[in-house]
Amino acid sequence: MTASIPRPGKIIAIHLSYASRADQRGRRPAFPSYFFKPTSSLGTSGGVVERPAGTELLAFEGEIALVIGTTARRVALDDAWSHVGWVTASNDLGLYDLRANDKGSNVRSKGGDGYTPLGPEYIDASTVDPAALRVRAWVNGELRQDDMTAGLIFPLAQLVADLSQHFTLEPGDVILTGTPAGSSVIVPGDVVEIEVDAPTAPGTPSSGALVTTVTQGEVPFDDRIGSLPAVDDLQRTEAWGSREAAGLPPVDDEPALSPELRAKLLEAPTAGLSAQLRKRGHHSCFIDGVSANIPGTKIVGTAKTLRFVPFREDLFARHGGGYNAQKRAFDAVNEGEIIVIEARGDDSTGTLGDILALRAKARGAAGVVTDGGVRDFDAVAEIGLPVFSQGAHPSVLGRRHVPWDVDVTISCGGATVQPGDIIVGDGDGVIVIPPALAEAVVEDALAQEIEDAWIAEQVAAGHPVDGLFPMNAEWRAKYDAATGPSTSSGTQK
């Protein structure tokens, strides 16, 4: 900080604020959420930042930093900007290798020494329009980020007003206002430049170039003390900005369920579908013992699997906390997928609650099927996420289960379920359909529904069911004459 600007007592950063970044991440928050960074993370232009030994995913984030000029406590939105003294550039550096055990708080992943360089110049906030500021970032001279505050989900003044509701913002405090799309991984030797300016203001006030050089650290983390670096393809994708940038193979864009097949499965009842599966020799397609939290619910989707193993104290200590398998499953579920949970039929503990249900709903999940219990049962139903389960139970994770695996073959309610299997559930229960059989099974089930509707009409007209249900040759001829030749042979219900 300069001599005229107080050193901050606190640094507050927002998780997600630009529409371009939210669209890149596939989630758009309804309200801002925040985390703190230590003041020891402050740096200045021309400094260096170390990528620790044994890590790979250090990422830059070009951001606009607001520096509080006058004390703000419970300020109105219309008055909030007057409490901002200065605007400058910042680089909200983060180490994705350490996100797993600090997800949300970002204590270790974003708190490293030099991970919050600011400057070099500070723009008088009273001379600029907060809705017309620009942030740009270059890596080795190549433009990587370029966005305006007009693209913010939450206006800058809203952040000041919101935070001031909860605690006092004091002169010198810094608010990091989020990064737009384009943030990515940097490696030792890279030089990052961030600039904030007001291109439409008189004189085009600018922060100048905030320059940071990446160096390679030599001291590894001590595995006897705390969390170690750990990465997976999700972290690589989010750190680099895309699977392609991370060097990962593309995900097949062809939906596992075409809109046409999904529509047919929504129309066909599970009873009819299961009958067609049994005709083909599939007698173990039922997920037994589960019922819907929302009466009348119908779910259709592809399985994303989550496996719990029986509780054991030492295993739960290693696998139960932090960014565990349960959280990863709900964070990574895709639109139209159904999270299917193996809980070994144990209904004496919850396998999800309202927070995870909210996350699944926001991700576009088609529902959840668990052969265990559900915590916050009424709240989950109010969220509107369809859940088929053994029922309600108030306990939290750690009573009976250890979250263990995602995207593996599991057993749920006595049925084997593989990732990508087609799950259909309604008031009669939940069934598992092998994808290769789905088209033929649903076509025959729908044809059977037409036949059964005709039979019901005959029964309603007073005909006895003997010889009609299932149809004998005489009734079959009548049916064919009334509707055209049938390909269905009828099924006893």
Tokens 């797993």 appear where?
A: 100
Query: Which of 370, 408, 402 shows the shortest CA–CA distance to 386?
Result: 370
Instruction: Quote the distance between the C-alpha of residue 419 and its chain's center.
Output: 18
- Sequence-separated (6 or more) residues with CB below 8 Å from residue 65: 87, 88, 89, 90, 118, 174, 175, 176, 177, 196
Q: What's the CA gap between 430 and 444, in Å, rounded? A: 19
Check the annotation: does 422 bind a ligand: no
Per residue, the 3-state secondary structure of the chain, as one string, reads CCCCCCCCCCEEEECCCEHHHHHHHCCCCCCCCEEEECHHHEEECCEEEEECCCCCCEECCEEEEEEECCCECCCCHHHHHHHEEEEEEEECCEEHHHCHHHCCCCCCCCCCCCCEEECCCCEEHHHCCHHHCEEEEEECCEEEEEEEHHHECCCHHHHHHHHHCCCCECCCCEEECCCCCCCCECCCCCEEEEEEECCCCCCCCECCCEEEEEEECCCCCCCCCCCCCCCCHHHHHHHHCCCCCCCCCCCCCCCCCCHHHHHHHHHCCHHHHHHHHHHCCCCCCEECCCEECCCCCCEEEEEEEEEEEECCHHHHHHHCCCCCHHHHHHHHCCCCEEEEEECCCCCCCECCCHHHHHHHHHHCCCEEEECCEECCHHHHHHHCCCEEECEECCCCCCCCEEEEEECCCEEECCEEECCCCEEEEECCEEEEECHHHHHHHHHHHHHHHHHHHHHHHHHHCCCCCCCCCCCCHHHHHHHHHHHCCCCCCCCCC
Check the annotation: does 376 bind a ligand: yes
Radius of gyration, CA atoms only, the chain: 29
Check the annotation: does 355 bind a ligand: yes
CB neighbours of residue 455 within 10 Å: 20
CA distances in angstroms from 47 to 116, 294, 311, listed in the order given? 11, 57, 48
Check the annotation: does 353 bind a ligand: yes
Cis (ω within 30 of 0) for the bond into 120? yes
Binding residues: 353-356, 375-376
Binding residues for Mg(2+): 376
Binding residues for substrate: 353-356, 375
